[in-house]
Amino acid sequence: MHTVSVATPGGHYPIHIGRGRLEALAASVPADATALAVITNTTVADLYGQRVHDALAAAGKPIHWVRLPDGEQYKTWDSLNQIFDALLGAALDRKAVLIALGGGVVGDMAGFAAACYMRGVRFVQVPTTLLAQVDSSVGGKTAINHPLGKNMIGAFYQPQAVEIDLQVLATLPAREISAGLAEVVKYGMIADAAFFAWCEAHVQALRALDDEAIAYAVRRACELKAWVVSQDERESGLRAILNFGHTFGHAIESGLGYGQWLHGEAVGCGMVLAAQLSVQARGLDPAVAARIQALVQAIGCPVRPPALGLDRWFDLMRVDKKTEGRHIRYVLLPGLGQACLQAVDDDKVRPLLAAAGG
Amino acid sequence: MHTVSVATPGGHYPIHIGRGRLEALAASVPADATALAVITNTTVADLYGQRVHDALAAAGKPIHWVRLPDGEQYKTWDSLNQIFDALLGAALDRKAVLIALGGGVVGDMAGFAAACYMRGVRFVQVPTTLLAQVDSSVGGKTAINHPLGKNMIGAFYQPQAVEIDLQVLATLPAREISAGLAEVVKYGMIADAAFFAWCEAHVQALRALDDEAIAYAVRRACELKAWVVSQDERESGLRAILNFGHTFGHAIESGLGYGQWLHGEAVGCGMVLAAQLSVQARGLDPAVAARIQALVQAIGCPVRPPALGLDRWFDLMRVDKKTEGRHIRYVLLPGLGQACLQAVDDDKVRPLLAAAGG
């Protein structure tokens, strides 16, 4: 097992990465917890519900289960309210602990529920997708979607611990592995050129879930994310670089309807567009942009955006949380492994989207 | 104008208390605000909308208005979502500032909306009821109600400033003045016996909104609340004493349906019950309990609880956020001006409620 530490004003906590972490979950339950509520979805419950139940039983606390429908389209107030109904229905108190067992959707919703239930109860992240393991479970961003924008309603709220079991990746569809790898390679693009090159060299091993390769990739991604959020928990500056590709990506997800493209797929395509924009607006070497497109393609993510219509692209992108006034701000790369946040006029982005078929 | 300072880990901010604060609102708008959204209700908008609009116009920012229906029964997700719909519909960004113009319901909802919108934007409290001025606008507790309990979904989230205009009290119905005075006299009971005696001596001046008396009472209440929340922002200990009378009070509000009794009325009656329980469970001098009952009556609040049925009382009280496991915890008074938190067996509370007609 490897441990990565996260230190933010909102909380210090460990990320435990290893095989068999599900079986060790009882160790992450605080001694004074009055009860546990496992928030999960039907797919994950079928796969791991019994194992997690047996593992948590060792903690000797009452265990309640909340099974939500599976999919980004359910990251809504209705699902959040299902959690609150269950917690209040079971009369869980302020010392209850929530366990988020699932992918990013479950983690974001369970974390937001923990942030709001009785104004805040403790929770543990147990991410079961690659994307959640390397991104959403770390750093305390929680949220639900709104019909007018993704992740618009939420909180910065840190978990007590993140428990990453690499064994669960074996049951993921190949498409979800590819989507998760998009966030893995992102860290190389924005903060670690050597890691980017390592990903290029190990892309087949990563897609095949080679034990050693995937363990290193998850660990390095968590280290880089932990470093960024420890500098800037509430995204007043540096943390925004983690949104590389996300301005375009969120527009794709929102424009097509949540759940059509996976989040990582939309981000993968968004990073290709953001790299092209970086060539124009920040003088990024076109050869680097080409390497970025080649790596996104190699991990199995789409590199051509859907045809949303140009006006709609900008309407959707303007809802982005980085927007200030009317100016859409993009994370751009001055060079490989370096990122910055910059407003770019719509007129400069339009030809790029048009050429890409957007 | 008098200024009281609040210093919590979640934020340092001033409470400005005086006459004509509405006209001075532009000064509380941060220079880098991109837009303002005034969250209010229809009643307050009719009374003060134009004055506030004119005052804020001096800040030179776009102003959006969100008018909610008036009443505790609207402190729901539906109203909260109306706020989010309006903010997103107007494409307000992370640097927008919310202005909570109204009583406790508006303040709690606008504050919670500010806590969650894009994971947190700034907001200013402009409380227009006595109860909100001396209690809910100070200290950063925000929430909405859930059918299974009051204030169950919320956040600790501090405002940028609290602007208390004493002139607006002139338009309040007498019933709301009485309800607000319940929270005023509470501070004397739990933390300041001299202030309690001052309230006894000035009860008629307070009910008549005598300038000098009400200014002193609001200021002293804010000072005492600021002191408590500065010690314990997230209610891990001391802050719970502010809930004196609230365990019974919340059950009354929830059991009768929100909006039947005003919050302050329910708390007033709850304090009478909690004082009686303090005699039994903490040896409080019965003469003090009698003074408490007399003062609650003198300010114009009910002292006899509604007949909810005994089992229902306990079901409702057990949902209280102070409950741990199955044990209902009450704020009790060992003496006048002193408070503590203590679990009391239902069997000891039952005869008291039965005798009171509950």
Confidence at residue A134, expressed as pLDDT on a 0 to 100 scale? 97
Average of per-residue pLDDT across B247-272 = 93
Contact A84 B117 (CB under 8 A): no
Q: Is the same domain home to A205 and A144? A: no
State yes or no: is B243 an active-site residue. Answer: yes
Confidence at residue A281, expressed as pLDDT on a 0 to 100 scale? 97
Mean of the per-residue pLDDT values of chain A? 96
Q: Which domain holds residue A72?
A: 2-171
Instruction: State which of B124, B156, B171 marks the end of a domain.
Output: B171
- Helical spans, DSSP H, in B38-139: 42-57, 77-89, 104-116, 130-131
B29 contacts B163 by C-beta, under 8 angstroms: no
Q: Is the same domain home to A330 and A235? A: yes
* Residue B63 backbone phi and psi in degrees, to 5: -120, 125
Confidence at residue A358, expressed as pLDDT on a 0 to 100 scale? 82
Place of tokens 């509370």: B349
What burial letters (b/e) apply to A142-166, b meaning 16+ CB within 10 Å? Answer: bbbbbebbbbbbbbbbbbbbbbbbb
A127 contacts A137 by C-beta, under 8 angstroms: yes
Confidence at residue B107, expressed as pLDDT on a 0 to 100 scale? 98
Q: Is the same domain home to B155 and B194? A: no
pLDDT above 90 as % of chain B = 92
Average of per-residue pLDDT across A85-99 = 96
- Report the residue of A8, A93, A108 to disrupt the B interface, i.e. the one with the largest count of B CBs within 10 Å: A93
Confidence at residue A148, expressed as pLDDT on a 0 to 100 scale? 85
Confidence at residue A88, expressed as pLDDT on a 0 to 100 scale? 95
Q: Is the same domain home to B47 and B96? A: yes
Q: How many domains does chain B have?
A: 2
Q: Is pLDDT of B258 > 80?
A: no
pLDDT band at residue B74 under the 50/70/90 scheme:
very high
Question: Which residue in A16, A150, A239, A329 is the catalytic one?
Answer: A239
Q: Is the same domain home to B156 and B167? A: yes
pLDDT above 70 as % of chain B = 100
Q: Is the same domain home to A79 and A140? A: yes
Contact B88 A152 (CB under 8 A): yes
- Report how far apart the first and last C-alpha atoms of chain B are (Å, whole number): 44
Confidence at residue A357, expressed as pLDDT on a 0 to 100 scale? 86
- Report chain A residues whose CB lies below 8 A from the CB of B84: 146, 152-153
Q: A283-296 pLDDT, tens per residue?
A: 999 999 999 999 99
The token duo for B287 is 């003469």
Q: Is the same domain home to B18 and B163? A: yes
Q: Is the same domain home to B200 and B349? A: yes
Q: Is the same domain home to A254 and A297? A: yes
Q: Is the same domain home to A200 and A81? A: no
Helices H, strands E: what count in chain A? 13, 11
A223: CATH: 1.20.1090.10
A144: CATH: 3.40.50.1970
Q: Is the same domain home to B223 and B166? A: no
Q: Is the same domain home to B227 and B155? A: no
Q: Tell me the range of A311-320, B225-234, B284-293 where mean pLDDT is highest.
A: B284-293
Residue A282 has a CB neighbour count (10 Å cut-off) of 17
Q: Is pLDDT of A258 > 80?
A: no
Instruction: State which of A103, A136, A171 marks the end of a domain.
Output: A171
- Report chain B residues whose CB lies below 8 A from the CB of A323: 91, 93
Predicted model pTM: 0.93
Smallest Cα distance from B113 to chain A, Å: 8
Instruction: State which of B113, B143, B171 marks the end of a domain.
Output: B171
Q: A178-215 pLDDT, tens per residue?
A: 999 999 999 999 999 999 999 999 999 999 999 999 99
A318 has a chain B CB within 8 A of its CB: yes
Rg (C-alpha) for chain B, rounded Å, is 20
Q: B111-164 pLDDT, tens per residue?
A: 999 999 999 999 999 999 999 999 999 999 999 999 888 899 999 999 999 999
Average of per-residue pLDDT across A47-56 = 97
Q: Is pLDDT of A259 > 80?
A: no
